[in-house]
């Protein structure tokens, strides 16, 4: 399966849906990921035969990926594959000097941000900004590394006058979620989309009447079933890669886009609150 660096929007979408597909759909998806350059020349019958599935499975996968049909999918995939990529190799080795590490690590993060930009659905992003703008209160929920993102998000929105909070202890999260009311928004942040604590907290918030916004890298995962709006970011972590900096940067980029969008909608009011919060901490600085 190819490295995500250099993947186009279509292949990224397949990767983000992979865990939620049926076993036969996964066979097709993995075959496409491994043979994308060849697939654009296949008929639906050829692809089905090579992936050892039925034609209906291929068509069902295309529909799940929001394509009108197999030809629509192939056209979009072909357009992605012709995009030039001049990225350097991102394979970091122990022999790299400081200069090489600088280039490779920064380039890797830039690539993740570019891929996240490709993957984000503009319509859902507009809906998310509107939802947060009209929210009475915003609760950000995440644990572990995603909990740190939640804290930063709450801080950013507080600075523009949106009542926001984030707690990272699951017990306190459950209490906060139970006190949420209609008109409030609960934002769940989870790279895997399968974090039990975050899912349970969002379930409590939904039961209490909150609208649910989710930021995750897995389009079809347990957490997305609770969501009113899902925003996808690019990040893949194996069990040995938890709390990766690339995942953190991708999450924070989505948060910053949402924060900026809401601030523009609030206009002069956001500026006023920025000035107020800045003055409130002036005495704490030299």
d(C-alpha 1, C-alpha 111), whole Å = 18
Of 69, 75, 80, give the one whose Cα is nearest residue 119.
Answer: 80
pLDDT score for 88: 42
Helix-strand-coil split of the chain, %, nearest 5? 60, 10, 30
Task: Summarize pLDDT for 8-67 with one digit per residue, the tens.
Answer: 788 998 999 998 899 999 999 999 999 998 888 888 888 998 999 998 999 999 999 989
The two beta strands, 211-216 and 185-189, are parallel
pTM over cut 0.95 = no
Confidence label for 153 from pLDDT (cuts 50, 70 and 90): very high
Does residue 87 carry a pLDDT above 70?
no
pLDDT score for 89: 44
Task: Summarize pLDDT for 179-219 with one digit per residue, the tens.
Answer: 999 999 999 999 888 888 999 999 999 999 999 999 998 88
pLDDT score for 157: 97
């Amino acid at each position: 399966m190819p490295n995500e660096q250099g993947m186009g929007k279509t292949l990224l979408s397949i990767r983000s849906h992979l865990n939620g597909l049926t076993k036969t759909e996964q066979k097709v998806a993995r075959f496409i990921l491994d043979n994308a350059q060849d697939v654009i020349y296949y008929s639906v019958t050829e692809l089905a035969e090579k992936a050892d599935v039925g034609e209906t499975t291929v068509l069902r996968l295309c529909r799940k990926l929001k394509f009108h049909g197999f030809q629509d999918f192939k056209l979009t995939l072909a357009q992605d594959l012709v995009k030039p990529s001049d990225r350097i190799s991102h394979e970091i080795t122990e022999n790299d000097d400081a200069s090489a590490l600088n280039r490779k690590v920064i380039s890797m993060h830039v690539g993740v941000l570019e891929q996240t930009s490709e993957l984000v659905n503009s319509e859902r992003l507009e809906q998310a900004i509107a939802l947060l703008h009209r929210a009475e209160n915003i609760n950000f929920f995440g644990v572990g590394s995603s909990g740190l993102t939640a804290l930063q998000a709450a801080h950013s929105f507080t600075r523009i006058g949106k009542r926001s909070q984030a707690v990272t202890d699951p017990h306190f999260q459950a209490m906060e979620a139970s006190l949420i009311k209609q008109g409030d928004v609960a934002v769940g942040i989870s790279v895997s989309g399968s974090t039990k604590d975050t899912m349970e907290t969002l379930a409590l918030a939904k039961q209490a009447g909150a609208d649910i916004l989710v930021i995750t890298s897995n389009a079809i995962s347990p957490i997305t079933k609770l969501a009113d709006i899902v925003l996808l970011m690019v990040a893949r972590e194996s069990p040995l890669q938890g709390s990766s900096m690339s995942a953190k940067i991708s999450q924070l980029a989505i948060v910053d886009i949402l924060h900026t969008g809401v601030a523009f909608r609030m206009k002069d009011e956001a500026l006023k609150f920025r000035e107020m919060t800045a003055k409130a901490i002036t005495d704490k600085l030299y």
